[in-house]
């Protein structure tokens, strides 16, 4: 009887410790004064500067921060952004495996300063117990792979209309709706997925509602409501037919399998 009592008490304290840990991680991931949560709008190339860049955008797509990166860093972020697994693990894959193996969680990534033209980032781990300095590109790639939030200091963001990108700067064309950000399959992306260009639209970002429904970054949307979608114009046309609150079924390709997932159109901006 006494042994049972000690066992119950032990389980109770273990549950309390787990709850405290979860609360600490949640607090560490929450925004702080002066922080703005952002998402990766895409990876592009500025021909005027001859450099790649990653574009971080706020939730309203009104302000953004472009950070110049090299070709290798651009590839790493693009692969994570589109859920593509390279034949051999890259640096962020190794970091992610080490974190998983040691039971370490990533709370948040923050781009917090600009000095002499160099952006500074840090990674918060295990409920804020540890903070590690990192290059923004490495931190962003890791955050994408670990589904951790990314924050930028408010003072570093600029209105999109004032971005200092050359006139030849390009980002993949994309569209938003139903909690998804999708883009057309470029020849390069189609090659990664062993598909033909125009085979569907690549899901590059997913909000919480769409993720809860089962949609993942890297899925290929091939049909909406039974109608094939090959171009962004097809996606926009399908959304324009929906009424608020109406349910619609998306046909997805994930790897070699095909899936059907139903979403509710709360609004055309969801």
Residues of the chain with CATH 3.10.690.10: 33-162
Residues of the chain with CATH 2.30.42.10: 174-265
The whole-number pLDDT of residue 18 equals 42
CB 112 within 8 A of CB 121: yes
Superfamily in which the 174-265 domain is placed by CATH: PDZ domain (2.30.42.10)
The whole-number pLDDT of residue 20 equals 46
Chain centre to alpha carbon of residue 200: 20
> What is the 3-state secondary structure of the chain?
CHHHHHHHHHHHHHHHHHHHHHHHHHHHHCCCCCEEEEEEEEEEEECCCCEEEEEEEECCCCEEEEEEECHHHHHHHHHHHCCCCCCCCCHHHHHHHHHHHHCCCEEEEEEEEEECCEEEEEEEECCCCEEEEECHHHHHHHHHHHCCCEEEEHHHCEEHHHCCCCCCCECCCEEEECCEEEEECCHHHHHHCCCCCCCCEEEEEECHHHHHHCCCCCCEEEEECCEECCCHHHHHHHHHCCCCCEEEEEEEEECCEEEEEEEEECCCCC
Among candidate residues 120, 228, 219, 239, the one with its CA nearest the CA of residue 176: 239
The whole-number pLDDT of residue 235 equals 92
Pick the CATH number of 33-162 from 3.40.50.11740, 3.10.690.10, 3.30.70.1380, 3.40.640.10: 3.10.690.10
35-46 and 150-153 strand pairing: antiparallel
The whole-number pLDDT of residue 13 equals 45
The whole-number pLDDT of residue 37 equals 95
The whole-number pLDDT of residue 26 equals 59
The whole-number pLDDT of residue 192 equals 67
List the pLDDT tens digit at each of the 270 positions of the chain: 555 554 555 544 444 444 444 454 555 566 678 899 999 988 887 776 677 889 999 988 788 898 988 888 888 888 888 777 777 778 878 888 888 888 999 999 999 998 877 899 999 998 888 999 999 999 999 999 899 999 999 999 988 776 656 555 666 677 888 888 888 877 666 776 777 777 899 887 788 888 889 998 888 999 999 999 988 899 999 988 888 888 899 999 887 789 999 988 764 444
106-115 and 150-153 strand pairing: parallel
């Amino acid at each position: 009887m006494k042994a049972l009592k000690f066992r119950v008490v032990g389980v109770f304290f273990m549950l309390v410790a787990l709850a405290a840990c979860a609360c600490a991680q949640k607090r560490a991931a929450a925004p702080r004064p002066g922080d703005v949560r952002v998402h990766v709008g895409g990876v592009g190339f500025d021909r005027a500067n001859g450099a790649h860049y990653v574009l971080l955008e706020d939730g309203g797509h009104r302000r953004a921060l472009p950070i110049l990166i090299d070709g290798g860093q651009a590839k790493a972020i693009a692969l994570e952004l589109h859920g593509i697994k390279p034949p051999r693990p890259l640096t962020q894959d190794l970091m992610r495996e080490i974190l998983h193996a040691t039971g370490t969680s990533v709370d948040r990534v923050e781009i917090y300063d600009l000095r002499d033209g160099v952006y500074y980032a840090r990674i918060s781990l295990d409920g804020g117990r540890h903070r590690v300095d990192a290059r923004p590109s490495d931190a962003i790639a890791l955050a994408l792979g670990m589904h951790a939030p990314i924050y930028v200091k408010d003072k570093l963001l600029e209105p999109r209309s004032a971005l200092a990108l050359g006139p030849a700067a390009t980002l993949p064309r994309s569209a938003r709706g139903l909690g998804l950000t999708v883009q057309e399959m470029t020849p390069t992306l189609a090659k990664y997925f062993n598909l033909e260009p125009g085979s569907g639209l690549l899901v590059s970002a997913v909000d919480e509602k769409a993720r809860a429904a089962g949609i993942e970054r890297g899925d290929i949307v091939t049909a909406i409501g039974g109608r094939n979608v090959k171009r962004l114009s097809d996606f926009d046309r399908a959304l324009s037919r929906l009424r608020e609150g109406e349910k619609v079924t998306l046909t997805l390709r994930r790897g070699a399998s095909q899936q059907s997932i139903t979403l509710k159109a709360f609004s055309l901006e969801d």
